[in-house]
Amino acid sequence: MHYIIAEKGTVAKRIAAILSEGKAKDRKIGSVNAHEFDGKVVAGLSGHVFRLDFPTAYSNWSRVDPYKLIDAKIVAIALKKTIAKALEQIAKDADTVTIATDYDREGELIGVEALRIIKKTNPDVNVDRMRYSAITEKDIKDSFAARSEVDYNLAASAEVRGITDLIWGASLTRFVSLSANRLGEEFFSVGRVQSPTLALLVDKEKEIRKFVPRKYWELHVKLKTEKGDIFEVRHKTQKFWDEEEAEEIKSRIESAHDGCVCAVKTHLRTEKPPTPFDTTSFISAASSIGYTPKRAMNVAEGLYLQGLISYHRTDNTTYPDTLDLKALVTLFLDNADFGDYARLLLKKKQLKPTAGKKRTTDHPPIHPVSEASREKIEKPEWKIYELVVRRFLATLSDAAKWADTEVMMEIGGEILEAKGKELKEEGFLAVYPYQRKEEVKIPELQEGEKVQIEFIELVEKETKPPKRISQAGLIKKMADLGLGTKSTRHEIVGKLYERAYVQDNPAKPTEKAIALIDSLEKYATLITKPEMTQKLEQEMDEIKEGNRKKKDVADDSRDMLRAVFKEMTANKEEIAKSLKEAMKGGTIVGKCPECGADLFWMTSKRRKRFVGCSNFPTCSFSLPLPSSGRLIVTTETCDKHPSLFKLKIIKKGKGRSNTWDFGCPYCNFLRWKENSEKKEDDK
C-alpha cells in the first residue's frame, strides 16, 4: 500500500480529493481519519508527533540544579498516542510512504518524526517527499508526479533548534526564577530568542523614561493670493529653539503685511510599486489594517489550507521564473473587486514584476493561487485575502507619478515655504490603496506674484519621546537582527504577552520585564544580546546545507550556555538581590483611593495575592486577587475608580491560554461583598 502523510487532517482530505479526482473513500486507521483510492491512502497528522522534554527525574525545580539540565538526556514524548499507533499500523502494510507535510524546517521534522515510527517497524519501506507551495490541483498533482527525497538535514536543523530552545529555556528560567524565589504562576521565563527580543522593548522603554521634553516654537502663517486663494506656509526654519528669536521674526513678517513669490520649483517623482510579500512584510502590511502578527498568520494559514493563497512562511521576495503570472492575473477577470484592474494589466505587452533583495528556492513570495469573492469568505479572512491579491497585482503594476511643488516667498526679509504634492498617475496605487498618501494642494503661483498675510501665529510645542515598537515593527527588528525565524517570530512575540512581560500594541514592557532585563543586562549580558542567537541560527543553516552535524551544533550551544551559567553563577547573589528589590513592591495597579499613594499587587508569605498600599502600615487599604493565572495590569482605567487600572488574567487550559478580563479589582471586591451580604440576608 502507498501511504501519503500530510501535516493535518484537512490537508490530507484535500490532497486525497485532488489526486483521486474526488473518488477517495473515507476510512479509519485506528482512530485517525484517512482517505483511500487506487491503492493509496492519505492520512493526516496533528502537527508534531513528538515533543522534546527531560526525563521526569528532572521535573522538580527546587531539587534539581538548573546547570545539570545542560547535559541532561532529552527524550521524545508522543504528543498523541492515537497518532503514534496509527503510524505503527501504517508501517505494517506500507510499501511506500510519501511525506506531504509543509515544506519548511518544522514540516520536514514532522515528516521525519512520522518516519521514525514507521521505519522502526518497517525499516525497508520506500520513502519519498512531495514539495508544494500551494494546495491547488496543479501544485498537488505536479508535486506528486515529481516526488523527491526527504531532506534529513533540513529536519535536523529544526530538531537542533528544539533541543537548544528546550535546554536554554528550561535551565535559565529555573536559575533566574529560583534565584528570585518566584515560582508557580510568577516565574521568570528566560529564553534564547525571547530574552534578546524582550531586551529590545525594555531598552526602548528606558529611552522613553529618560526622555526630557524640550520646548520649541513653530511659525504658522496663512497667505492670500491675488486671486483670493488662501494657503498655509511655514518659515524655512521648521523649529525655533529660542522664543525671542521666533518672536522677532514673527514681528518682522507681521509689519511687512505682504510679500512676493521668489521661487517656484516643480519636479516629477516616481513612487515604485511594492515588492512581493515575504512573511515579515506581510505581517507589517496586515498590521496596518488592524491584524496582530499572530492573528494575521492564523488567518493566512486558513487561506493556505483552503487553497486560496500560497504558503505563508517564506523569506522570498522574488517571484520564480516558473510562476505563470499571466495565468494568475487571468483568475480574476470575472471578479467583482479585481476584474477591471486585471483586464488593464493583461493589456500590457509584458508583465514585469518587482523584485526584492531576497531570493530563496523553498517557497515563492506569498501570492493568490485561486480566485474567491467577498461573498464566499468570512470578513476577517477576506481582508487578508484582499490584501494578498492587491499586493500581487501591485507588484505587476506601473509606478505612481507625483508632481512635487515647492514655493518660496519673501516677506519682511524672511523666507516662507509651501510644499504641495499632486498625484499625476495612479499606477499601482489604483489597486493598492494601503500605501496611498494624501495629496497636498497649493494654489498655482508664479515668480513675482504678490501675496498678503491673512493670519500668523507662533505655536509652542514640545519634543516627543521615542515611540514604542509595534508588534509588526518588533518582528521586523527580529528579522533584521537574525532573532528567530519566519515561522517562529510571531509566536515569540505572542509568548511575551502570555507571560505578562508585555501589554498593549505598541508593545509596552511590564515592570516584571524591566526588572528581569535590568538584572540580566548587568549580570548575564550574553542572554540579552542578539549575537549569540545569530551565531546559533547561522550554525543551524549550516546543518540545513549539509556543512555541520546536528550533534556538533547542539554541543556548541551547550558550550555557550555553560559560559552564560559561569557568568550568572558568579553573580547569583546580585541577580537575586536585583530581582527581589525590583519586584518587592509588585506591579503598580493605580493610586490608593484612601490616601493617594501607589497601589501594588503583591504576594503574601502564604502565597496569596492581593492589592496593597505602598503607605502600609499607615494605610491598610487592600483588595483580594484571584489565586491563579498570570496577572496583567492594563492601561485602561476604571470609570467608577479612575485612579485604578483594569486587570487581565491569563489562565492556561488544555493546550491553550484563556484571557479573563478581570476589570477593576475594587469593583470586583465591592460586587463580592454585596453578594456575600445578600447571601447572609437570605439565610
CA distance 242 to 160: 59
Cα 668 to Cα 63, 622, 640, 683: the distances in Å are 38, 13, 12, 23
CA distance 290 to 361: 31
Coil vs helix vs strand at 17: helix
Q: Which residues contact 652 (CB under 8 A, 6 or more apart)?
A: 658
Domain ranges of the chain: 2-150, 159-210+470-581, 215-273+400-462, 290-395, 585-682
Q: Which CATH superfamily is domain 290-395 in?
A: Topoisomerase I, domain 4 (1.10.290.10)
CATH number of 159-210+470-581: 1.10.460.10
Angle subtended at Cα 434 by Cα 432 and Cα 436, rounded to the nearest 5 degrees: 85
CA distance 95 to 122: 9
DSSP code per residue over 529-596: SHHHHHHHHHHHHHHHTTSS-HHHHHHHHHHHHHHHHHHHHHTHHHHHHHHHHHHTT-EEEEE-TTT-
Residue 127: exposure state from Cβ atoms within 10 A (0-12, 13-18, ≥19): middle
pLDDT of residue 585: 52
Low-confidence ranges of the chain (pLDDT < 50): 654-655
Tell me the β-bridge partners of 599. Answer: 590, 613
Coil vs helix vs strand at 27: strand
From start to end of 246-290, where are the E strands? 258-271
Of the candidates 3, 58, 304, 311, the residue annotated as catalytic is 311
Active site residue 311: yes
pLDDT of residue 428: 97
Q: Which CATH number fits domain 2-150: 3.40.50.2300, 2.60.34.10, 3.50.50.60, 3.40.50.140?
A: 3.40.50.140
Cα 157 to Cα 118, 154, 484: the distances in Å are 21, 5, 13
Please tell me the pTM assigned to this model: 0.85
CA distance 198 to 528: 8
- The 10 Å Cβ neighbour count of residue 214 is 10
3-state secondary structure 326-388: HHHHHCCCCCCCCHHHHHHHHCCCCCCCCCCCCCCCCCCCECECCCCCCCCCCHHHHHHHHHH
Residue 96: exposure state from Cβ atoms within 10 A (0-12, 13-18, ≥19): middle
Q: Which CATH superfamily is domain 215-273+400-462 in?
A: Topoisomerase I, domain 3 (2.70.20.10)
Where is 298: in which H helix or E strand?
A: helix 293-305
Count the helices and strands in the chain (H runs, E runs).
20, 23
Question: pLDDT (tens digit, 9 = 90+) per residue, 42-59?
Answer: 999 999 999 999 999 999
